[in-house]
Amino acid sequence: VENVRLLDRLSSRRAVVGTLYLTATHVIFVENGSETRKETWVLHSQISSIEKQATTATGCPLLIRCKNFQVIQLVIPQERDCHDVYISLIRLARPVKYEELYCFSFNPKLDKEEREQGWKLVDLNEEYNRMGVPNSYWQISDVNRDYGVCDSYPTEVYVPKSATAHIIVGSSKFRSRRRFPALSYYCKDNNASICRSSQPLSGFSARCLEDEQMLQAIRKANPGSDFIYVVDTRPKLNAMANRAAGKGYENEDNYSNIKFQFIGIENIHVMRNSLQKMLEVCELKSPSMSDFLWGLENSGWLKHIKAIMDAGIFIAKAVAEEGVSVLVHCSDGWDRTAQVCSVASLLLDPYYRTMKGFMVLIEKDWVSFGHKFNHRYGNLDGDPKEISPVIDQFIECVWQLMEQFPCAFEFNERFLIHIQHHIYSCQFGNFLCNSQKERRELKIKERTYSLWAHLWKNRSDYLNPLYRSDHSQTQGTLHPQIAPCNFLYKFWSGMYNRFEKGLHPRQSVTDYLMAVKEETQQLEEELEVLQERLANLQKSQSGNNKVKSKQQDQSKQFGLYTSNNSLANTPQEYSNDLKSFPSRSPSQGDEDSALILTQDNLKSSDPDLSANSDQESGVEDLSCRSPSGGGCLPSEDSGKDSDEAVFLAG
Amino acid sequence: MASRSPPALGGPLLAPRLSPAVPTWHPTRAEAAPMEFSELIKTATVENVLLSRPGLPAVRGTLCITSHHLLLSSSPRGDLELWLLIRNVDAVEKRVHNLGWYQPPRTAGSLRDTRVSGSSGTITLRCKDLKVLQLEIPGMEECLNIASSIEALSSVDSVMMMYPFFYRPPGLRLQQGWHQSPLERHFQQVASQTSQWRLSTVNRDFSACPSYPPAVMVPAAVGDDVVAKAAAFRQGGRFPVLSYFHPKNGTALLRSSQPLTGPNRRRCREDEKLLGTILDEGERGFIIDTRSAQAAKQARMSGGGTEPKSSYPQWRRLHRALDRGRPLQESFIRLVEACAEQGMDRWLGRLESSRWLSHVKAALSTACLAAQCLDREGCKVLVHGAEGTDTTLLVTALAQLILDPSCRSLEGFQGLLEREWIQAGHPFQLRCARSASSHGRGKQEAPLFLLFLDCVWQLSRQFPFSLEFGEQLLLTLFDNAYASSYGTFLCNNEKERSLCKVKESTHSLWAWLNQPEERQKYLNPLYSHNPLVIWPSVEPQSIQLWQGLFLRWIRPSQHLDEAWAEIRRLVEGNNSSSKESTGKRLSQSFPDPTAGTQNGR
């Protein structure tokens, strides 16, 4: 469709005209006019909703909201075209079969061996060994070998040595969806562990001997402590309501030596609505500070994030400081339980704060234990009530921790954002389906590629320059401040407004420091070479002066980051009054259009995922990247592009 | 024996003693209480006082009150000392426990040897820099005496009795830092680029305008007689003067106070002429009025008003309401209260209802508007509100920081503060007499300067490489504006400073800050000269609470400090290795850093 206008939320003046293409996998908008022909690519699987608004004089507006929080506003001149696009997108955005998803057609041109290597990058067996199991307290159980006991669990689970198959099976019958208590994290320093399960089917009075024995076994696996915590992550009221349906929570009287604790994290429906409310706030057109803060407060989003963090902190403290094992569950044990176990693990074990460790953590607590990726993130058309930003919240918890502990994580914010993106993109097979069983049936590993290998290959983009393995923040348990510290939880505009670069700091400290770090390394290497050479030269008695090059060093250093600065060089709309000011000369008008050009170039050339995935998609001739001259910041094409545009404008 | 003197600026609140323990307190000459002070000090020394602060272990020691300081020396070892400038105390709250059989409520750090049976009292000191100290004092009478001494000493309002007139730091000369005359230097810069402006001495004896400095920049085309008449038509005599000349396109930023139009729509030919000569024929200028259109209109009833279009045909008025005075002070108070009560639910709601961030957003937007008029529209801009000493300066100073790269260096920023705040006559003494604990007191207090510092902080967050100075400088400026050992922020204007002989009898803060070792603490390790205009985002998502200031004494900062140390380490590692490296450079070429400036021109 031609002559489509792409609008900018922040400024009605900055609309661009271009052509809209629909392909089997993407929506593509190509700008007319500008020499760079800026492109916007959106994967169909990213589309969360499409809204056709009332036709106006200029055309028919179409609003596309994406799961990665991009909002695209198009105006299509002909109502008929608009309708066609709308109908096609609705169909394309809601695939009904896994085979329709992008990962089955995505081909990064790797051979079979590389693909297999990629899938081997994260190996959970290795991970359990790293934790220190199996050992004299824990063993691997093959009771779920053919998913015979629990179809949403992995085939290999770790259980206390004293838990016989009889106990496990008995316990599983007393647990919702048969998700019996299994090991999530083991702390080899003090034998304390985090186990996970679903709620017991206790109703008002039911008991199960095997389940009681199972919890007993978990306690015995930690000889240093005479009780275990049972943490129900639901609000007490919800848990009590479940009793009427024959489910519920553990009765302290029936289980010996447990301490029972509720932690009120709300359910997926509350969370979905909360996110919805927050996104509405993000979408407001020129909101006042009050609109924004009230909206954010009323969405409750940060309160929910804090609740998840508090639960994780409680568990980490129990394990690390008290040396007490913890059993965590919610209702089915695949949403809140996954959040809380992974936050606790992250706090406890520095390994999970490395890039590789974080991949392992997601693989362990989310993928292998049957977090329902397909249902939660709506990969296939399904029940909208099943959709909820569960893992998004976990990812945000990690970001909040990164803000509090800037040196503690090996990876940076971009790493988190890209993982979030790919959970929805379906470009890689990792997060397909609802369980390991389904993934095996679909032969995911043979037919798709692994995201982890892709991220690992590009790991230099995701490094946190402040991370140093010998830094104090990278050692041992993290101790975030607990109450009363509401101010610690901040709105994450890097995620929820990530496509509106105008809102973010204009200069990236991370990238700058990364570049500095690399340069230092290079210089040190150079220095070594030179010292060697100098030694040789001194032998042969030649005194060259070396003053000159110092200045060059300086200029190079500046060169490193000046490209960033030009990002800053466009004002926003601070006033509409100016527009109507009568005395503006035509030349000023020209400058305005130049402005538009610059601004949009900035946006187009973001080192952004859609652009990344384009390149990988193999559609080379449509690649929007302008050839950019030797840069040393891998992801700062934006700066260069805008420089170019700036010159065009001049 | 070295006599003790207060730790210099920026030192830790409670510092380990550097000199060997001295068992008794020896006041230095400067600290010896003159008659006026000794009357105010009812009890000078109390032993066995327990000091507690949020987030830090309690300290027990001997408390001394001197003319200007409160000193707590830990006992028995005397290894820690607290120095608190009494001027820094914003409010004193006291609570006495007078019942012999009643066990006073104990704080966590309380030791067994408190006189359980005797009376005691607790004093809470709320400081202007927002920290809160609690002193548990044995003996009710001592407690009350100490409290009233602190109250009396902290509210001495004679400028010449203040500490800067007594403070003589080692290694600094009195005149140092005072004789940089930023205005003259600024004029020389302007004069090198244009002859449209001249330095006028019409105000050399402060007769035209008591709150202006002796020398100001005015259009070259008008004589001092015209200027003097225009001054009579502006509130407080604050006639339009040049605040900033934009070299890129020759436009200019001016500031003044409101014209005295009054209910009868008075006019003043000279004022019209002054503003008229600035614009060429057919050229347009903008007047940014920092009041709402309605408030500006209402000001006519009390003799003020705005420039009517009929008399100033080439000027177009834009109204941008910025709060000042009481509403701003209340906002500050509410924000600090919200920060102190973190246990409360609905933190964001409380943050919102303080409205502080709304003020930040409004101030930044207005400054951006002024900058945009200058840089993008190529128009001259006059900024004023009512008196022209508060929001006016906020806008002109911020606009310069956005536009002019030379204001973003440490030295340039000091020059900017000197020109646009201190010499421009922001009444620091009135505005900063009390801080956030000043409920219901004073009508003149308002944290305009703090709001400015907050906006600068927002800029530094959005442009982490573009300012040469870091957060520490902004914090130090805030502290010193409210209570200082230096004379820089004393008095309300240059006239008062000259009457009090501030420049002759006190030390300049700048002299202290610019000592090489001291200077190092305030630099931003990431700084690189950025020749471009820095246009900030003023969307709510981009504006954040300045935690480093408002939560300085509340939030744990260890992990963030470590991060900064790490950044320093990285950058300095890079610098040293590039200095050491001598070989040929990498073959890649890099864009000329100045190339971007030329855009659009």
Secondary structure of A265-308 in the HEC alphabet? CCCHHHHHHHHHHHHHHHHCCCCCHHHHHHHHHHHCHHHHHHHH
Q: Is the dihedral of CA A181, A184, A185, A186 positive or negative?
A: positive
Say how many CA atoms lie within 13 Å of B260 toward its Cβ. Answer: 14
> How does DSSP classify residue A320?
I
What pLDDT score does A191 carry? 94
- Chain A residues 525-584 within an 8 A CB cutoff of chain B: 526-527, 529-530, 546, 549-550, 552-566, 568-572, 574-575, 577-578, 581-584
Let me know: does B279 contact B380? Beta carbons within 8 Å.
yes
What pLDDT score does A486 carry? 74
Q: How buried is A46 (Cβ within 10 angstroms: 0-12 exposed, 13-18 middle, 19+ buried)? A: buried
Q: Each residue of B495-511: b (16+ CB within 10 Å) or e?
A: bbbeebebbeebbbbbb
Q: Give the sheet arrangement for strand A182-186, strand by strand.
A: A182-186, A193-197, A326-329, A228-232, A258-262
CA distance B327 to chain A (A): 16
What pLDDT score does B440 carry? 61
What pLDDT score does B185 carry? 86
Alpha-carbon distance of A210 to A201, in angstroms, equals: 13
Instruction: Report how many Cβ contacts below 8 Å link chain A to chain B.
Output: 271
Alpha-carbon distance of B572 to A455, in angstroms, equals: 30
Alpha-carbon distance of A198 to A373, in angstroms, equals: 17
Contact B590 A556 (CB under 8 A): yes
Whether residue A300 has pLDDT greater than 50: yes
Q: List, for residues B137-180, the tens digit of each pLDDT value.
A: 888 888 888 999 998 898 887 888 899 999 998 888 888 888 66
Alpha-carbon distance of A208 to A11, in angstroms, equals: 63
A632 to chain B: which residues are within 8 Å by CB? 588
Collapsing DSSP states into helix, strand and coil, what is residue A4? strand
Q: Which of B108-112, B131-135, B267-271 has the lowest mean pLDDT?
A: B108-112
B465 to chain A: which residues are within 8 Å by CB? 507, 509, 512, 561, 564-565
Average pLDDT over chain A reads 81
Let me know: does A346 contact A361? Beta carbons within 8 Å.
yes
Substitution target from A514, A561, A569 for chain B, most B beta carbons within 10 A:
A569
Predicted ipTM?
0.86
Let me know: does B448 contact B394? Beta carbons within 8 Å.
yes
Q: List, for residues B280-339, the tens digit of each pLDDT value.
A: 888 999 999 999 999 999 999 999 999 999 999 999 999 999 998 889 999 999 999 998
Alpha-carbon distance of B368 to B534, in angstroms, equals: 10
Q: How buried is A330 (Cβ within 10 angstroms: 0-12 exposed, 13-18 middle, 19+ buried)? A: buried
Alpha-carbon distance of B66 to B32, in angstroms, equals: 7
Please report which confidence band the pLDDT of residue B492 belongs to, taking 50, 70 and 90 as the band edges.
Answer: very high
- List residues forming the annotated binding site of A for substrate: 267-268, 330-336
> Could you tell me which residues come within 8 angstroms of residue A159 by beta carbon, excluding any fewer than 6 positions away?
A138, A139, A141, A143, A168, A181, A182, A183, A217
B579 to chain A: which residues are within 8 Å by CB? 550, 553
Substitution target from A553, A628, A633 for chain B, most B beta carbons within 10 A:
A553
User: Average pLDDT, stretch B267-287?
Assistant: 92
Whether residue A608 has pLDDT greater than 90: no
Contact B582 A546 (CB under 8 A): yes
Give the DSSP H/E element, type plus range, for residue B328: helix B325-340
Domains of chain A: 4-94 (2.30.29.30), 112-512 (no CATH)
Closest Cβ opposite residue A649 in set B378, B582, B600? B600
Give the DSSP H/E element, type plus range, for residue B49: strand B45-53
Catalytically active residues of A, by annotation: 330
The rounded Cα A538 to chain-centroid distance in angstroms is 55
Collapsing DSSP states into helix, strand and coil, what is residue B58? strand
User: Average pLDDT, stretch A100-128?
Assistant: 90
| Chain A residue with the nearest C-alpha to that of B544 | A490
Alpha-carbon distance of B566 to B180, in angstroms, equals: 35
How many CB atoms neighbour CB B319 within 10 A?
A: 17
| Chain B residue with the nearest C-alpha to that of A504 | B542
Q: List, for residues A241-280, the tens digit of each pLDDT value.
A: 999 999 999 999 999 899 999 999 999 999 999 999 999 9
Let me know: does A118 contact A450? Beta carbons within 8 Å.
yes
What pLDDT score does A560 carry? 32
Whether residue A463 has pLDDT greater than 80: yes
What pLDDT score does B175 carry? 81
**A269 and B CB contact within 8 Å:** no
> Could you tell me which residues come within 8 angstroms of residue A526 by beta carbon, excluding any fewer than 6 positions away?
B581, B583
Q: How buried is B173 (Cβ within 10 angstroms: 0-12 exposed, 13-18 middle, 19+ buried)? A: exposed
Let me know: does A158 contact A128? Beta carbons within 8 Å.
yes
User: Average pLDDT, stretch A428-457?
Assistant: 93
Place of tokens 């998840």: A308
Let me know: does A22 contact A30? Beta carbons within 8 Å.
no
pTM, full prediction: 0.86
Give the DSSP H/E element, type plus range, for residue A513: helix A509-539
- Chain B residues 330-389 within an 8 A CB cutoff of chain A: 339, 341-344, 346-349, 351-352, 355, 357-358, 360-361, 365, 368-369, 371-373, 375-378
Contact A507 B567 (CB under 8 A): no
Contacts of residues B154-158 at CB distance under 8 Å and 24 or more positions apart, as own/partner, are B154/B86, B154/B87, B154/B88, B154/B89, B154/B90, B154/B92, B156/B40, B157/B433
CA distance B107 to chain A (A): 19
Q: List, for residues B377-402, the tens digit of each pLDDT value.
A: 999 999 999 999 999 999 999 999 99
A650 to chain B: which residues are within 8 Å by CB? 598-601
Alpha-carbon distance of A204 to A192, in angstroms, equals: 31
Substitution target from A13, A306, A475, A516 for chain B, most B beta carbons within 10 A:
A516
Q: List, for residues A479-538, the tens digit of each pLDDT value.
A: 887 756 678 889 998 999 888 777 777 778 888 888 888 888 888 888 888 888 888 887
Please report which confidence band the pLDDT of residue B590 belongs to, taking 50, 70 and 90 as the band edges.
Answer: very low
A297 to chain B: which residues are within 8 Å by CB? 346-349, 352
The beta strand positions in A4-57, using DSSP E, are: 4-7, 16-22, 26-31, 39-43, 47-52
Please report which confidence band the pLDDT of residue B439 belongs to, taking 50, 70 and 90 as the band edges.
Answer: low
Alpha-carbon distance of B346 to B364, in angstroms, equals: 26
% residues pLDDT > 70 (chain A):
81
